[in-house]
């Protein structure tokens, strides 16, 4: 065992049991400013070839989340026409399901040495690390990518700039119920040892 990389079996045990909590089961309180800062700091420590930081974070909390829901409803109805009551409620509450939502924006761009794909993978790693750090901080969290990630009008309203796109939204709050376990891939079906020929 190297002193430069001490074993952390507790971390591996945590990763083996980590589960997403559906955003609809998250409640107050969410992380306070200091805890959220720590979570985001962890998320910014992902592999990042060239130190480009090809991602950034936008935090949605408080009353702003209700204003977002109203605007998303307007955008959805402009696209689809009048929505039924269930769908109206879904749009109005899309950002109020959890007390804190963090948008992760990929800002991958052409670079002479670093492929765009590597930069996009770094944004995905930022999402996963943010999700894991929130869980390790005692909160429930879920990574969602919904229609507003991909809609030009909605994503611009939510903070997307030219050349960016949302990698997703991480919903963070206090769990109100145990998460559901789901089946996982059989390791033999997704892992193999390379052999020539």
Task: State the binding site for FMN.
Answer: 18-20, 45, 49, 143-145
Rounded Cα gap, residues 133 and 73, in angstroms = 31
Under 8 Å between Cβ of 16 and 181: no
| Residue numbering of the annotated binding site | 18-20, 45, 49, 143-145
Between CA 33 and CA 62 the distance in angstroms is 12
DSSP class per residue in 36-57: HHHHHHHHTTS--GGG---EEE
Nearest to residue 108, comparing CAs of 179, 55, 69?
A: 55
> For the purposes of burial, counting CB atoms within 10 Å of the CB of 194, is it exposed (0-12), middle (13-18) or buried (19 or more)?
exposed
**Degrees (nearest 5) of the Cα angle 28, 32, 37?**
135
Report d(CA 111, CA 113) in Å as an integer. 6
């Amino acid at each position: 065992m190297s002193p430069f990389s001490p074993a952390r079996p507790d971390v591996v045990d945590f990763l083996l049991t980590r589960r997403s909590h559906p955003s609809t089961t998250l409640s107050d309180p969410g992380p306070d400013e200091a805890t959220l800062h720590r979570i985001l700091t962890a998320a910014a420590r992902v592999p990042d070839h060239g130190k480009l930081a090809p991602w950034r974070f936008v935090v949605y909390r408080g009353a702003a989340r209700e204003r977002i829901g109203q605007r998303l409803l307007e955008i959805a109805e402009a696209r689809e026409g009048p929505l039924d009551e269930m769908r109206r409620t879904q749009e109005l509450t899309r950002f109020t399901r959890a007390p804190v939502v963090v948008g992760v924006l990929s800002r991958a761009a052409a670079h002479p040495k670093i492929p765009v794909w590597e930069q996009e993978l770094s944004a995905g790693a930022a999402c996963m690390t943010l999700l894991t750090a929130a869980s390790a901080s005692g909160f429930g969290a879920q990574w969602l990518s919904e229609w507003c990630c991909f809609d030009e009008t909605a994503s611009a309203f939510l903070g997307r700039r030219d050349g960016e796109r949302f990698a997703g939204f991480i919903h963070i709050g206090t769990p109100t119920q145990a998460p559901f376990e789901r089946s996982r891939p059989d390791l033999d079906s997704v892992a193999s040892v390379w052999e020539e020929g």
